[in-house]
């Protein structure tokens, strides 16, 4: 069911019959492609099909498998509700683009098409600014060009089957020649135009206008395709796999630039400047026996002054958490993470946390400097976790779960632990003197801890040391006894963690684990959309691992364990 996804422009109501019939004529004219055939260059199997002809300024490109078995496998995942929704969407696509036009994918397309097809979005043409303001922003024209690349596995079968397609009942067609290459353009009664050309007798290119077709020919002849972008082939190959379900590429700086001009969604200048440092984001999606795996990579522009810190230190916090942990997020260096966030979120009105507001809030509430008094000693591995309160007695004063923060404070420099202890003591004094909390020393598992008890008599938080260089904070439910001393049954030893969180990126910069099934049961969500609720119900666990390759690229490995329909 790949071929139906030809275009997302509903306004144009294109005719697939016109395009495929014109394509049959092009395949039969081999003389127009002979020059390309003799000068052709091989296509890398690790790159998406058509990477050698898609122009460098493409905003987005995605390759989808044409293997019906993989599409059937995708349908096996999820709940009956999500399967029904998927079937509904696939049927709509099939009817709109194939059945309604007299085509059957398995019969008319699959025998000649290659293993995958690629759809790319080209940026809108540069237009002169309008002198007079328009009535509403919604009327501003903002259209991209669509390019679809279909590899021809069997030219003879393709020619025969497409030649037998339905006779055109409307519209007209014309033949153009650009740089010695034939372009077949069809025009319907409503004025919509589709163009098709054959490149190297191997690739059928269908676009929504002739100019986009010419751009693909230029990209191939001039070697200015996405495949020739600095870092594209090198980084893309790191995520490649055998017969993937999908591959994708996003031109980050260009997409951000286009987004910055979109009405009502303008990006701040500071955010746009940061995004310009990034060159691309690419990835591969594979279907596995228990779920979906996505391997991705992002890389910086060769002109970027920004570099990445190769600091992969995560991977031990799951050994300190109990097996019943619902969620864990870990990272290598909290101080550096905060600095990176500040540099990319400054001036961004959409940022979830405003750095200056947080700094002022910490200063106002605790009289401590966020950067100097707290983050200065948080340079080691850290984690944020949610642990259920399995001993809850049902009292409304008790919390369903506890939020646990851990951070390794020692970085080999003398006095770091002392700085942490000073900050903790200052926090204790503020809670006691300014907010009338009861601050009590206690012992858990043979280790000293400090409890914060609210004026209403409820245990609010606990902090202490797990060993000489790891400090923890527990908020909400009293779960200190679950981490002190170190639990015998840890999260790292559970089967669901081991099967969900990817291990190939080792050492890791960060990790994420979420037991979606148990979390939804413990904390029911009242979502407005039934589709969102159904999607959450179809997910069992989510695991993510990230790692910095070098000062220019970072990899991501994501696995989503899905339920299987009955």
Read off the pTM.
Answer: 0.84
**Residue 110: strand, helix, or coil:** coil
Contact criterion met (CB below 8 Å) for 488 and 427: no
**Residue 297: strand, helix, or coil:** strand
Contacts of 351 (CB under 8 A, 6+ apart): 345
DSSP letter assigned to residue 213: H
DSSP assignment string, 417-474: HHHHHHHHHHHHHHHHHTS--EEEEEEETTEEEEEEE-TTS-EEEEEEESSSSEEEEE
Contact criterion met (CB below 8 Å) for 493 and 321: no
For the chain, the domains span 16-125+141-295, 309-333+378-550
What percent of the chain stands above pLDDT 70?
77
- Rounded to the nearest integer, the mean pLDDT of the chain is 81
Residue found by looking up tokens 């148990």 in the block = 518
Over the stretch 319-338, which tens digit does the pLDDT of each residue have? 999 999 999 999 999 999 99
Lowest mean pLDDT, pick from 64-73, 154-163, 167-176 = 167-176
Contact criterion met (CB below 8 Å) for 156 and 170: no
Largest CA distance in the chain: 89
Higher model confidence: residue 387 or residue 265? 387
Over the stretch 164-201, which tens digit does the pLDDT of each residue have? 654 444 457 788 899 999 988 877 555 567 788 888 88
* Alpha helices, DSSP H, located in 383-415: none
pLDDT band at 6 (very low <50, low <70, confident <90, very high): very low
- The H or E element spanning position 519 is helix 516-522
DSSP letter assigned to residue 129: P
Angle at 415 between CA 411 and CA 418, to 5 degrees: 110
Q: Residue 39's pLDDT is what?
A: 34
Contacts of 311 (CB under 8 A, 6+ apart): 332, 333, 336, 509, 548
How large is the C-alpha radius of gyration of the chain?
A: 29
Q: Residue 359's pLDDT is what?
A: 95
**Distance from C-alpha of 323 to C-alpha of 401, rounded to nearest angstrom:** 14
Higher model confidence: residue 136 or residue 485? 485
| Tokens found for residue 566 | 């009955």
DSSP letter assigned to residue 123: P
């Amino acid at each position: 069911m790949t071929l139906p996804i030809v275009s997302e422009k509903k306004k144009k109501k294109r005719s697939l019959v016109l395009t495929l019939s014109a394509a049959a004529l092009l395949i039969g004219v081999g003389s127009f492609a002979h020059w390309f055939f003799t000068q052709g260059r091989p296509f890398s199997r690790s790159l998406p099909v058509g990477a050698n002809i898609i122009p460098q300024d493409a905003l987005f490109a995605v390759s989808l498998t044409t293997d019906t078995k993989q599409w059937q496998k995708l349908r096996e995942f999820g709940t009956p509700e999500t399967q029904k929704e998927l079937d509904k969407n696939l049927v709509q696509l099939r009817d709109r683009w194939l059945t309604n036009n007299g085509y059957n994918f398995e019969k008319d397309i699959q025998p000649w098409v290659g293993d995958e097809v690629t759809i790319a979005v080209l940026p809108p043409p540069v237009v002169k600014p309008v002198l007079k303001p328009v009535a509403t922003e919604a009327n501003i024209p903002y259209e991209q060009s669509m390019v679809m690349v279909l590899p021809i596995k069997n030219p003879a079968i393709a020619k025969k089957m497409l030649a037998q397609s339905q006779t055109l009942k409307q519209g007209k067609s014309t033949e153009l020649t650009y740089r010695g290459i034939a372009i077949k353009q069809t025009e319907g009664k409503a004025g919509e135009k589709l163009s098709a050309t054959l490149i190297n007798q191997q690739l059928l290119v269908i676009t929504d206008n002739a100019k986009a077709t010419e751009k693909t020919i230029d990209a191939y002849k001039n070697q200015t395709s996405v495949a020739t972008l600095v870092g594209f082939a090198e980084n893309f190959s790191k995520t490649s796999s055998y017969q993937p379900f999908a591959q994708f590429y996003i031109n980050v700086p260009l997409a951000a630039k286009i987004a910055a001009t979109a009405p009502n969604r303008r990006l701040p200048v500071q955010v746009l400047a940061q995004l310009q440092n990034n060159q691309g984001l690419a990835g591969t999606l594979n279907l596995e026996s228990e779920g979906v795996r996505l391997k991705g990579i992002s890389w910086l522009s060769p002109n970027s002054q920004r570099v990445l810190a190769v600091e992969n230190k995560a991977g031990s916090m799951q050994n300190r958490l109990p097996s019943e942990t619902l969620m864990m997020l870990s990272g290598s260096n909290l101080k550096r993470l905060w600095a990176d966030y500040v540099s990319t979120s400054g001036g961004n009105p959409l940022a979830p946390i405003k750095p200056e507001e947080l700094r002022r809030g910490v200063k106002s509430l605790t009289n401590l400097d966020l950067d100097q008094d707290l983050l200065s000693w948080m340079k080691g591995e850290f984690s944020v976790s949610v642990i259920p309160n399995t001993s809850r007695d049902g009292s409304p004063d008790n919390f369903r779960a506890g939020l646990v923060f851990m951070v390794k404070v020692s970085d080999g420099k003398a006095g770091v632990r002392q700085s942490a202890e000073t900050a903790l003591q200052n926090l204790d004094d503020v809670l006691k003197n300014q907010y009338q909390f009861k601050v009590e020393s206690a012992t858990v598992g043979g280790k000293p801890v400090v409890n914060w008890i609210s004026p209403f008599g409820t245990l609010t938080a606990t902090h202490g040391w797990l060993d000489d260089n790891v400090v923890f904070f527990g908020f909400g439910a009293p779960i200190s006894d679950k981490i002190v001393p170190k639990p015998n049954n840890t999260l790292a030893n559970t089967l669901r963690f081991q099967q969900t969180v990817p291990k190939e990126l080792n050492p890791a910069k960060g990790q994420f684990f979420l037991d979606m099934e148990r979390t939804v049961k413990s904390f029911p969500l009242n979502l407005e959309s039934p589709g969102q609720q159904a999607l959450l119900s179809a997910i069992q666990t989510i695991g993510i691992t990230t790692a910095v390759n070098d000062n220019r690229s970072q990899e991501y490995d994501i696995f989503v364990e899905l339920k299987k329909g009955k």
